[in-house]
Amino acid sequence: MGKKGILLVNLGTPDSPEVGDVRKYLNQFLMDERVIDVNALKRTLLVKGIIVPFRSPKTSKLYKEIWDENGSPLLYFSKIQTALVQEQLGDDYHVELAMRYQNPSILSALEKMKAGLVESIKVIPMFPQYASASTGSVIQSVMEIVSKWATIPPVTFVNSFHDNELMIETFADNANKYQPETYDHVLFSFHGLPERQLLKCDHTGHYCLKKDNCCDTMNDTNKFCYSAQGHDTARLIAEKLNIKREDYTVCFQSRLGKEPWVQPYTTDVLKRLATEGKKRLLVFSPAFVADCLETLYEITVEYHEEFKELGGEHVQLVESLNDNPKFITALVDMAKA
């Protein structure tokens, strides 16, 4: 019998922090029809004419702030995760890593599995909460590639793992070292999405952003909603740490452009908490399974400095899942399921 193929896919990273490589990465990322979900002409003009030319030099500088001797932290930790999952699964499995954008590519990883004559492929998009722009894009890319093969093995996907118990425990363990009870407030800051992308996931057309607190509880209507799954992740971590509901806020960072994105925005929450006299904040970013630009710079540097300018004292990031053994076990369990 052939080996079982396991494909771990994260978002991606430039090959280097230099402007040219950042430009290539942003072009591929933002030209994805699921990321900027407008008509092709408008997307092309927006991305190639405005966003990439202006953002590439700025983003390059930010990547240089987090790039170290191991290269991109996201790629570094993703490689470790892949190696550890392969080690635990053993010789009956063939584990590959891919990035949705740039390298290693999904195509190259799938070609290695094809050459290895795997008997099946399970794809694990490394995004705990489902979003069309992340998990949905990975699934579409894999299906497009495999659909062209003459022989297609059984292919399955992990849709989301926002409530995975071991993942929740890992975030809680990471937070305990900072003594959460000593902080004035806790933030669960998720990567943002345009509101229109949430609305597209509401097939009823009368629930998302139309019902009060529509994301506070999971139900059949919002079970695939990124925001609802994020709220559920935050609730489960808070419960594990005995954090009361009034002591934490779910918010969204990394807004791009002027149109409405999922709210509240993390920057607005920082202003509110500073006005309320809060001084010390503990911040989770549970949309990421490995530390990256959004955690290591946006939260650790930008939000920390912004909060201090507003009168606060400290913003402490709870590190991501990275190579934590519990999370590796969670991935192994998903691979075997």
> Is the preceding peptide bond at 264 cis, omega within 30 degrees of 0?
yes
Closest to 78 measured CA to CA, from 53, 57, 103: 103
281 CB-contact burial (10 Å; exposed 0-12 / middle 13-18 / buried 19+): buried
The CATH topology of domain 165-317 is Rossmann fold (3.40.50)
In order of 165, 193, 251, the CA distances from 227 in angstroms are 19, 9, 10
Full-model pTM: 0.96
Residues placed in the known binding site for Fe(2+):
191, 294
For the annotated binding site, the residues are: 191, 294
The tens digit of pLDDT for each residue in 234-254 reads 999 999 999 999 999 999 999
Give domain limits for the chain. 4-160, 165-317
Partnered with residue 314 across adjacent β-strands are: 280
Domains 4-160 and 165-317 belong to one CATH topology: yes
pLDDT in tens, 253-303: 998 888 899 999 999 999 999 999 999 999 999 999 999 999 999 999 999
Q: How confident is the model at residue 41 (pLDDT cuts 50, 70, 90)?
A: very high
Confirm if 246 and 272 have CB atoms less than 8 A apart.
no
4-160: what CATH class?
A: alpha beta
